[in-house]
């Protein structure tokens, strides 16, 4: 088995991963475990947690520990940072044993740990230019590009995937979604369908094709498409199952089938992992849309609000915060949404550069609009939303996810003077 010779003549074990790229400080069994993680990660599988055991057993492997930290932080809640801490420490402690590619991934994880998401994206950009074979790093790059609303970067990463991974399972789904977010709908649909031919369980490709159909108003076809694909999601992780079912419910809303959307909500969108931020924002988003269409959602808001309340003060991603504050405003407890809004303002004031501009110039004004909307101040909401809507890409999320702000604006323009009935 080959080894690297580092300064000081310290021999470090090196093995290859499934992309024929070296992993420092790991043995062959660890490499096999890492390869299983790669497959699970790219396919949105349900067995990602195995990587934590592999990293625990290989504390001297900086790349494995960096990926373990990344998985925890991708939970997108404050506890993810707490769980990531020991892996980040091992990563840093053994950084001198990492090769150049690994050092760039470790740098990305380090920037992410500091909540410097743009910095993480920059390191992953450099890594994947130099090593486009690292499809896992490309996927993480797309993750950050998406959360930053950087659609050009999303496509750059997708194009790199095409350089080395033509015909590979799960690569074309990544390309398809990047094309869709860049309004290249025909190409996106072709790539997504091709991806599903290569790997029928490519849930991200199913998702990309659904996005095309949402954008083009093909609701009946979209519902059929996702119903056709849904059997492959049962062995997937919570995020993609929830999110693809969210799209299935969205098509029902477009068809006026509110009862079917509510049935999907009850069976698929809430209750499996209520502590998971993605489940929380998906639930908020669906209840919000249902009520905009006049549906009675009963007492479904109450448990969602309880979870959103626990996220107050985290301020990790602006897209998430806007859903949390909507839930808190919807609950109607005196001053609660206003306190969250004040905390968002303080957070924005502490940030420099683009992050400060996004939080202060887009997220906070959008949050003010939502609080006004729930209070029944429709004229004020509409007036404030007009300058915000063209900037909303910067908060992250997809076109389909952000469209609820357009729907909210439209409901203000046509609303009567009666405010939304609040939970008490």
Domains of the chain, first to last: 1-132 (1.25.40), 311-424 (no CATH)
pLDDT recorded at residue 412:
95
- 10-16: strand order across its sheet: 3-6, 10-16, 22-24
- What pLDDT does 258 receive? 98
pLDDT recorded at residue 421: 40
Buried/exposed code over 274-302 (b: 16+ C-beta within 10 A; e: otherwise)? eebbbbbbbbbbbbbbbbbeeeeeeebbe
CB 13 within 8 A of CB 27: yes
CA angle at 206 for the pair 392 and 155, rounded to the nearest 5°: 50
The first and second tokens of residue 246, run together, are 């969210």
Look at residue 296 in the predicted model and tell me its pLDDT: 97
pTM of the model: 0.94
* Tokens found for residue 98: 């990492």
- Residue 213, exposed/middle/buried by CB under 10 A (0-12, 13-18, 19+)? buried
Specify the pLDDT at position 247.
98
What are the residues whose beta carbons fall under 8 Å from the beta carbon of 69, sequence distance 6 or more? 84, 87, 88, 91, 109, 112, 113
Q: How many CA atoms lie within 13 A of 302 on its CB side?
A: 4
Mean pLDDT of residues grouped by 10 in the chain (424 residues)? 34 79 96 98 98 98 98 98 98 97 98 98 98 98 98 98 96 98 98 98 98 98 98 97 98 98 98 98 98 97 98 96 98 94 98 97 98 96 95 96 97 65 34
pLDDT of residue 7: 35
| Distance (Å, whole) CA 415 – CA 379 | 9
pLDDT for position 414: 85
Q: Where are the alpha helices (DSSP H) in 74-202?
A: 78-93, 100-113, 117-130, 135-147, 151-164, 171-181, 185-198
User: Residue 10 — φ and ψ, nearest 5°?
Assistant: -90, 115
Report the alpha-carbon distance of residue 241 to residue 239 in Å, rounded: 6
Q: How far apart are the first and last CA of the chain?
A: 66
Phi and psi, residue 16, nearest 5°: -105, 150
What pLDDT was estimated at residue 13?
A: 54
């Amino acid at each position: 088995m080959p080894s690297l010779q580092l300064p000081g003549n310290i021999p470090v074990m090196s093995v290859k991963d499934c992309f024929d790229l070296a992993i420092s400080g790991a043995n062959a069994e660890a490499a096999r475990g890492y390869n299983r993680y790669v497959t699970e990660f790219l396919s949105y599988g349900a067995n990602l947690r195995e990587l934590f055991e592999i990293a625990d057993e290989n504390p001297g492997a900086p790349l494995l520990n960096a990926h373990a930290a990344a998985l925890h932080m991708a939970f997108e809640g404050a506890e993810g940072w707490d769980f990531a801490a020991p892996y980040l420490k091992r990563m840093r402690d053994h950084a001198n044993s990492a090769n150049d590619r690994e050092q760039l991934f470790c740098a990305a994880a380090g920037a992410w740990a500091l909540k410097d998401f743009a910095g993480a994206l920059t390191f992953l950009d450099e890594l994947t230019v130099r090593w486009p074979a690292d499809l896992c790093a490309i996927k993480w790059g797309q993750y950050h590009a998406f959360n930053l609303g950087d659609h050009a970067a999303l496509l750059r990463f997708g194009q790199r995937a095409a350089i080395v991974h033509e015909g590979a399972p799960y690569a074309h789904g990544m390309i398809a979604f990047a094309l869709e977010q860049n309004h290249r709908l025909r190409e996106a649909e072709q790539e997504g369908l091709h991806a599903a031919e290569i790997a029928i369980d490519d849930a991200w490709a199913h998702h990309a094709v659904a996005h095309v159909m949402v954008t083009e108003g093909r609701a009946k076809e979209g519902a059929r498409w996702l119903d056709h694909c849904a059997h492959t999601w049962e062995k997937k992780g919570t995020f993609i199952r929830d999110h693809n079912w969210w799209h299935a419910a969205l098509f029902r809303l477009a068809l006026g089938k509110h009862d079917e959307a509510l049935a999907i909500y009850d069976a698929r969108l809430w209750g499996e992992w209520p502590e998971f931020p993605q489940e929380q924002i998906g639930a908020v988003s669906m209840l919000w849309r249902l009520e905009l269409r006049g549906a009675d959602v009963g007492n479904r808001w109450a448990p969602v609000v309880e979870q959103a309340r626990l996220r107050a003060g985290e301020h990790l991603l602006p897209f998430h915060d806007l859903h949390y504050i909507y839930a808190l405003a919807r609950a109607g407890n005196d001053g609660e949404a206003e306190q969250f809004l004040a905390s968002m303002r303080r957070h924005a004031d502490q940030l420099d550069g683009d992050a400060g501009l996004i939080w202060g110039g887009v997220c906070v004004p959008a949050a003010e609009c939502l609080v006004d909307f729930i209070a029944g101040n429709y004229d004020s909401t509409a007036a404030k939303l007009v300058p915000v809507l063209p900037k909303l890409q910067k908060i992250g999320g997809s076109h389909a996810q952000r469209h609820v702000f357009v729907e909210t604006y439209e409901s203000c323009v046509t609303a009567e003077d009666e405010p939304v009935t609040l939970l008490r």
